[in-house]
Structure 1
């Protein structure tokens, strides 16, 4: 059989699928990071992970421009050979300190940062991974040689059972997201670290969605719980308003991975513009906690506004707000109707979620206004009633969501109108 036959069959099926046009759709223009031009109309962007609204910040943009003027657009080589700048080292040192670790390595993407873990997973080792982890953590398991053991989402009892069944002398690593990127809930890090200590395992946390959002200092889930896992990874494309990734941990581990992880040795260095933008964003993140307060307040208002309408936002207590829709066709139809009503969301269907658990994922940024939040809720009200997804009157619903926030963080009291 021709190796391309699978492509032809999939393409034919995709063309018959009315929902296939919901993905890889181009945006024509952006406006302050909160609205975009899509298919000739200006709509609210409610699917971006630019949580602190820094991608549109003049200081971040100017930092990127200065770096291009000084170093050019590309370094033309890997970090190991000709691609290392003092700028990379400055960002690595700053991120290591911020994340409470000894050392860090910066990669061109968050996906690559997670793939850096592969050399640690050798034959005879065990790796334990939450079923809801990001695809990049699944990929690192495939690249490594360790025996894989998946535990049910945030199920500590199941993880304990799996750890107990592994050979006591074997190396063991537990992988988890900090904030899960679809469900929006937070990992049970204290319980996992207790189990890790009891079974001689190490914990690795992907903090892509919680860096800049959780913790007294905004350093993510480890900061939130006051704990220190072995390694922390993160994308720089969320709260740090750039493109890239970081892995942070003990100096000896980071040094080993620099020379043994193919994803580091054989890739071009992160561009000067992206590194400089992340550095500027980190400065603002630390100096302006009101941005974090704003996105948390908006998220709480959004959760509770949607629940009052009759929507289910699951177990999330974070700015990742999943609206349960159920049914692929309905989910994609809702996405299209919401676009027509002026709101751009993220439709999550299989394989991103299990069949029957389809959601529209909503994420607002610190840059969104009260008026935009009110318009978003009005669109969900109109479309949801028309589609028969919510009742015609306000809904008592489950208990209000209390967003996770440190006691010292000020509130901005966003109002839905």
Structure 2
């Protein structure tokens, strides 16, 4: 792995007293790679709510939801998610990863087929592998390929189309309206992982379905992106949620999240729903930075989402680019295979609503300087 430039190491990040800055291994930097799109992970209102419940309930949850780990706050959050996503019910998992593997492996079984987008997240891929269903990969957001695979899948007992709402490494959006049309045409269920869309797309951040005004069968998501806390969820019909509560192994056998996190998450959803200006401001910053990068001559993926991948190509050059950015006070790690295809290593630049003008100028200047220095642009 080292010889191929694919060896990975951890970096220690700690907060700085300077707005918009963090310390990365002791060096002050602007973090330009966080999933904290709305900046709520550091919001004092969430911290205050978490501390209030922590003083009453303690630190841990003490068990799984079906034994000793369930509290009124878990149930309140599930009700709040269902309201937010405009669904009948919801179920909280201990992470978005556990939600994906639990939901997919519980719903799809022997005799079924899962049609999965080529660039779906690893947790979706693992959920497909854990199920006993046949998995058929369709080319990334290619509706003609999906149509063809659906046509040749009619002999299976059931068909499930599963897709990311926003793709985490490319920043593009699944064409959900076209997917739902094909699903209706070929009698398939639609499962959407809305991890990177919740809080970003749709009215009041309700996600991809709301963005396209499309209702899907199953919506999965996480609290660890725009919502700024921790955990995962699934939303849908009451019968779906009741079924998963009894069948999803990654829910049944996983220790519950602490109630303090549940209350902080409720507060975060309240803030997102009542503060549409956060989304508006974030979209303004996304357009501004994306247009600047395109003017420089970078190969930029993504649009309308905070994920702006700058494709470099070679993994070693991407690593060099990331290191030079860090020397200029910008932390944005290189993303290499297997997270992305060969020869498509990139800097996964992400935008946060809390950036100030000084941050944006520093990020853009650093990318331009390093791009010229390494002859990427």
User: What band does the TM-score fall into relative to the shorter chain?
Assistant: over 0.9
Name the structure 1 match of 2:236. 249
Name the structure 2 match of 1:329. 316
State the distance in 2 between where 1:29 and 1:178 align.
30
Unmatched runs of 5 consecutive residues or more in structure 1: 1-12, 391-417
Q: Which stretch of structure 1 is more off in the superposition, 291-300 or 137-146?
A: 291-300
Query: How far 1:314 moved relative to its partner?
Result: 2.3
Name the structure 2 match of 1:49. 35
Partners of 2:335 and 2:348 within 8 A in 1 = yes
Name the structure 1 match of 2:89. 103
Note closer, same or farther for the CA distance 1:160–1:374 as it changes in structure 2 (3 Å cut): same
State the distance in 1 between where 2:187 and 2:26 align.
57
Structure 1 residues 17-36: Cα deviation after superposition (integer angstroms, max 9, x where no partner): 66636x41112334577321
Name the structure 1 match of 2:98. 112
Name the structure 1 match of 2:335. 348
How large is the RMSD of aligned CA atoms in angstroms? 1.4
Query: How far 1:316 moved relative to its partner?
Result: 3.0
Name the structure 1 match of 2:275. 288
Name the structure 2 match of 1:193. 180
Partners of 2:230 and 2:261 within 8 A in 1 = yes
Name the structure 1 match of 2:21. 35
Partners of 1:33 and 1:45 within 8 A in 2 = no
Query: How far 1:315 moved relative to its partner?
Result: 4.4
Q: Which stretch of structure 1 is more off in the superposition, 272-281 or 208-217?
A: 272-281
Structure 1 residues 232-270: Cα deviation after superposition (integer angstroms, max 9, x where no partner): 000100111101000011110111111111101101111
Superposition TM-score, scaled by structure 1 size: 0.88
2:141 is aligned with 1:165: no
Match of 1:374 among 357, 361, 367: 361
Match of 1:64 among 25, 33, 50: 50
Partners of 2:46 and 2:268 within 8 A in 1 = yes
Partners of 1:325 and 1:359 within 8 A in 2 = yes
**Secondary structure of the residue that 2:40 maps to in structure 1?**
coil
Q: Which stretch of structure 1 is more off in the superposition, 206-215 or 358-367?
A: 358-367
Name the structure 2 match of 1:146. 133
Name the structure 1 match of 2:255. 268
State the distance in 2 between where 1:270 and 1:296 align.
32
Note closer, same or farther for the CA distance 1:33–1:253 as it changes in structure 2 (3 Å cut): farther
State the distance in 2 between where 1:327 and 1:316 align.
23
2:305 is aligned with 1:318: yes
